[in-house]
Amino acid sequence: MKIGSFSGSSYRRLPWDYADTHESTWVDFDAGLLDPLQVNKDINDSLDVLEAADRAGFDLLGLNEHHSSAFTMNPSPNLLLAALARRTSKAALLALGNSIALYNPPQRVAEELGMVDVLSGGRVIAGFPVGTPMDTCFAYGTNPSELRARWLDAFELITQAWRRPESFAFNGRFHQQRYVNVVPRPVQKPHPPIWIPAGGSVETWRFCAEHDLFYSYLTHTGFQSGEKTVRGFWEEMKAHGREPNPFQVGVTQFVGLAETEEEAFKLYREPGTYLFNVLQHVHPRWSNPPGYVTENTIRTKLQADLAQGDKSVQLKTEVNTMHRKDFDQMVEQGFIMIGTPDQVAEKITRFATSQGVGNVMFLMQYGNMSKDVALYNTELAGKYLLPQLKGLFESEWEHKWWPKPLSEPARPAEVVLA
C-alpha cells in the first residue's frame, strides 16, 4: 500500500459563528477577513507538516487546488510542490490536482509539472481533476456545460506535449496552438503518472478504465461511506476487461491519532468541527450551475428520486451535505478516523482489503489544527500506523501508477561563498 499525507492549507482563524453570520467560505466571501499574518503562518505550517511527513516515511505528499476559498487557500499547487521539491528527498509529490481546464494555454500545466519533476528528480504525480463548480464556473468563469470538453482538450494537449519529442501543432476544440514544445520536459518517461481525482461520476470511471488511468476518489466522508463509489469504479473496470489491481485506486481519509482513543477525541474534536462546520460552509447557490452535471447523471438521479417517491430535485454536491454535523456523528460515520494507530490500522486494513484500494491519502492536518498537533499526528502515523499498512497488496500486485525517480538526482547544495 502507498500512503500519502494530503494537505489543504486552510485558514485557521475564521470566527466560530461564521456559518451563522456569513454566507460562504468560497467564491465571493469577504477575503478581507483573511489576516495576512495568519495566512503566512497557515501556508508555512502546512508545508512544515508535509516536510515532516516525508521524513516520517510517508510515500507521497499531496496538495490540492482551489480558488477564492478560505477552505483551501491554495490556487497553485505547483508553486508549493516546487517549494517541497527542494526540501524533501524521498516522497512522491502529488498535485491533486491541476484543474487543467482552467490553465490557458494548457501547455502551462505541462511546463510547470515538468519543472517540478525536474526539480525533484522525477517524483511528480500529475493529478487532473475536472474541478468543483465553485472553482471552475464561478471563481474562474468557465462555462459549466463546456467544462468537461475543455478538460478533454487540455488533457489531450498536455499528454501529447509530454509524449511527443518534436514540436507539433495542436488544433483542438478549444485550443489552437501552432508550436507546442514544452521545456523542460519531465524527467520521467513517457511522463509522470496521471491520476484522475474525482467524485463518483460514471464518466470519470469510464475515462479511467478506457485510458488505464489511476482513479483517486476525493471524498470528504472517507472509506466508510465510499464503498458504493469504489464498487462502481471496479464494475466499470471489469466491463472494460481491466484487472482489479488495487494500486489503481486511491481514497482520501481524515485521520486523528493519539496514544488513547480518549485523547484522540480531545485533540481532534475542535479541528474536525471547524473543518466541517466552518470551513465547509458553502451556500448551495454555488454548487449547481446548469450544465455542470451531465444529462446522463441528471436522468439517473431524477429517476432514482422519483422511484423512491421523492418529488424534490436535490442535486447536492458532497460539500453541501457536510453542513453542521456534530463531531461524534462525524466520527461515527467515519468522516474522520479517530483513535490509536492500532485502531485506525485495523479499520484501514479492513476497508482497503474489502474495497480493493491500494493507496490512501491521509489528511493529517485539517480544520484549525495547530502545527504541533499535526506534527504529533504525523509522527504517530509514521512510527505506528504506516508500518502496519505498507505491506498490503505489495506481494500480489505491481504499482503501475507510481513515479520512477532518478537514482542519483541533483540535490540542493549548501552554498558557502568564499
Partner 1 sequence: MSGVSERTVAVWGGRCRVMEAGTGPRLGVMAGHGGLPRWTPFLERLAERRRVVLVSLPGFPGSDSQHERLDGHLDWLAATLDLLEAADLAGCDLAASSTAAMLGADVAAYAPGFVRSLSLAGPYGLFDVAAPVTDVFAHTPGEVPGLLCRHPERYREAFAEPADVSALAEWRLRGLRAQAASARITWPMGERGLAKRLHRITVPVQLVWGREDRIVPPSYAEVFAKGLGGDVDSIVLDDAGHLVWVDQPELAARELLRFLDQQTTPHHQPALASA
Is residue 291 close enough to count as binding partner 1 by CB under 8 A? yes
Q: Which of 168, 174, 265, 397 binds partner 1 (CB under 8 A)?
A: 174
Is residue 155 within a helix (H) or strand (E), and if so which, with residue range?
helix 147-163
CA–CA dist 322, 345 (Å, integer): 25
Q: Which of 87, 90, 299, 404 binds partner 1 (CB under 8 A)?
A: 299
* Count of alpha carbons within 13 angstroms of residue 193, beta-carbon side: 26
Nearer residue to partner 1 within complex by CB, 7 or 142:
142
Q: Which of 265, 284, 349, 379 binds partner 1 (CB under 8 A)?
A: 284
Determine the interface stretch with partner 1 among 93-101, 157-165, 296-304, 405-413 (rule: CB under 8 A): 296-304
Nearer residue to partner 1 within complex by CB, 312 or 407:
312
Is residue 311 close enough to count as binding partner 1 by CB under 8 A? yes
Nearer residue to partner 1 within complex by CB, 31 or 306:
306
Is residue 30 close enough to count as binding partner 1 by CB under 8 A? no
CA–CA dist 378, 48 (Å, integer): 11
Are 239 and 208 in contact, with CB atoms under 8 Å apart? Answer: no
Compute the least distance from the CB of residue 317 to partner 1, in Å.
13
Compute the least distance from the CB of residue 209 to partner 1, in Å.
23
Binding mask 111-150 for partner 1 (x = CB under 8 A): --------------------------xx--xxxxxx--x-
Compute the least distance from the CB of residue 289 to partner 1, in Å.
5
Compute the least distance from the CB of residue 141 to partner 1, in Å.
4
Nearer residue to partner 1 within complex by CB, 78 or 132:
132
Cα dihedral across residues 376, 377, 379, 385: positive or negative: positive
Q: Which of 129, 289, 358, 403 binds partner 1 (CB under 8 A)?
A: 289
Is residue 313 close enough to count as binding partner 1 by CB under 8 A? yes
Is residue 303 close enough to count as binding partner 1 by CB under 8 A? yes
Binding mask 196-215 for partner 1 (x = CB under 8 A): --------------------
Is residue 302 close enough to count as binding partner 1 by CB under 8 A? yes
Compute the least distance from the CB of residue 310 to partner 1, in Å.
11
Is residue 321 close enough to count as binding partner 1 by CB under 8 A? no
CA–CA dist 335, 389 (Å, integer): 19
SS3 sequence of 161-213:
HHHCCCCEEEECCCCEEEEECCCCCCCCCCCCCEEEEECCCHHHHHHHHHHCC
CA–CA dist 98, 76 (Å, integer): 8
CA–CA dist 145, 166 (Å, integer): 33
Determine the interface stretch with partner 1 among 72-80, 285-293, 370-378, 384-392 (rule: CB under 8 A): 285-293
Q: Which of 36, 290, 308, 416 binds partner 1 (CB under 8 A)?
A: 290
Binding mask 218-257 for partner 1 (x = CB under 8 A): ----------------------------------------
Q: Could you tell me how many residues of this chain bind partner 1 (CB under 8 A)?
A: 26
Q: Which of 149, 127, 296, 320 is nearest to 218 (CA)?
A: 127
Binding mask 33-72 for partner 1 (x = CB under 8 A): ----------------------------------------
CA–CA dist 369, 12 (Å, integer): 7
Instruction: Give one word for 247, left, alpha or beta, with left for phi > 0 and alpha for psi -120 to 50.
Output: alpha
What is the identity of the amino acid at 389? L
Compute the least distance from the CB of residue 302 to partner 1, in Å.
4
How far CA 305 is from CA of 228, 298, 308, 318, 323, in Å, comes to: 17, 10, 5, 17, 22
CA–CA dist 277, 72 (Å, integer): 15
Q: Provide long-range contacts, Cβ within 8 A and 24+ apart, for 113-117.
A: 113/78, 113/186, 113/192, 114/162, 114/182, 114/183, 114/184, 114/185, 114/186, 115/78, 115/82, 115/184, 116/78, 116/81, 116/82, 116/85, 117/186, 117/187, 117/188, 117/192
Q: Which residues would be at the binding site for partner 1 (CB under 8 A)?
A: 27, 137-138, 141-146, 149, 173-174, 284-286, 289-291, 295, 298-299, 302-303, 306, 311, 313
